[in-house]
Amino acid sequence: MATISEPHSGAPTTSSSVSTSGSWTPANPAPLGLAGFGLTTLVLSVINANLVGAGATPAVLGLAFAFGGLAQLLAGMWEFRNGNTFGAVAFSSYGAFWISFFFLVSFDAAKFAPASEASAGIGLYLWAWGIFTGCMFLCTFASSRALQLLFLLLTVTLILLGIGNSGGTSSMVHAGGWFGIATAVVALYIFTADVMKATYGRSVLPLGE
Decide if 164 contacts 120 (C-beta within 8 A). no
User: Is 208 domain-assigned?
Assistant: no
User: Is 59 domain-assigned?
Assistant: yes
User: Is 181 domain-assigned?
Assistant: yes
Closest CA to 16 of 193, 209, 201, 192: 201
pLDDT of residue 15: 39
User: Is 98 domain-assigned?
Assistant: yes
pLDDT of residue 179: 98
For the entire predicted model, the pTM comes to 0.86
pLDDT tens per residue, range 150-167: 999 999 999 999 999 888
Whether residue 176 has pLDDT greater than 50: yes
Count of domains observed in the chain: 1
Task: Work out the widest C-alpha separation in the chain, in whole angstroms.
Answer: 61
**Residue 38: domain span:** 30-197
User: Is 154 domain-assigned?
Assistant: yes
CA distances to 44, 64, 115 from 111, rounded to whole Å, are: 21, 21, 8
pLDDT of residue 156: 98
Q: Distance (Å, rounded) from C-alpha 125 to C-alpha 179? A: 18
User: Is 130 domain-assigned?
Assistant: yes
pLDDT tens per residue, range 55-92: 888 889 999 999 999 999 999 999 999 999 999 999 99
Which carries the bigger pLDDT value, residue 88 or residue 107? 88
Tell whether the torsion through CA atoms of 165, 128, 117 and 112 is positive or negative: positive
CA distances to 1, 40, 146, 194 from 65, rounded to whole Å, are: 26, 9, 26, 24
pLDDT tens per residue, range 11-69: 333 333 444 456 777 789 999 999 999 999 999 999 999 999 888 888 899 999 999 99
User: Is 15 domain-assigned?
Assistant: no
User: Is 24 domain-assigned?
Assistant: no
